[in-house]
Amino acid sequence: MPTDYARRLLSVERTADGNAHLGWWLAFVAGATNAGGFLAVRQYTSHMTGMVSAAADGLVLGEHQALITACGALLFFMTGAATTAVLVHLGRQRRAHSIFALPLLVEAASLVVFGLMGAWLAGLHALFVPATVSVLCFTMGLQNALITKVSRSEIRTTHVTGIVTDLGIEFGRGLCSLGGATEPLNAAKVRLLAGLLLAFAVGGVVGAWSFKAVGYAATLPLAGGLAFLGAVPALDDLRGLRGR
């Protein structure tokens, strides 16, 4: 049942399998959002390395709009991460089933805002890039903090540099084990990392294609999927409150 699957993905009691499946889904969403966002504003918004470089370039070159946009992106990414931390903390205090579901629901709402307001913002040229980048960075910060909390910092979904690095390390271990080293390749970790990389890449292709085809509304199916996953444990909590 889809509802049982949603409960397993967002259960308070975490498992390696649940973390992997949630990570793959979120990596797909991040890849799609990142690619669609680039077509909208010509900036990638799922990782902050480029934003820090853009801020430095803007400062040195006197490009104040680029500097403000990059600093705003950093601020909103951190705000998204802080929002997840607060929601998870409050959920744990209340011993809720939806500890990890609430950030997903907020992420879904952010994608709806982008999907419904993107075309309108495009007409406001002075606000379009800063506002769009801020919404998308908030969304990605929220998601990255969620999977970090869920997996205890073992999984990232909004950028692939660490994923590719870890895959390289595992392949290096495999080569060393052929030469008699005692530390073999971790097949389970390779499966997780390869799944994350593939999900992000496939999400990027789907996001770029769908944005090119239907525009900003391409984010609405992503929002719907996240909302469904988050709604199942959230409704479980509501039923529990009514039953008291």
Give pTM, 2 decimals: 0.91
Residue 215 backbone zone (phi > 0: left; psi -120 to 50: alpha; other: beta) = left
Q: Give the CA diameter of the chain.
A: 63
Closest CA to 186 of 171, 164, 165: 171
Rounded mean pLDDT, 67-89: 92
Q: How far is residue 96's CA from residue 88's CA, in Å, rounded to a whole number? A: 10
Bigger pLDDT: 190 or 184? 190
Write the burial class of residue 150 (CB in 10 Å: 0-12 exposed, 13-18 middle, 19+ buried): buried
pLDDT digit string (tens) for 57-74? 999 998 888 888 889 889
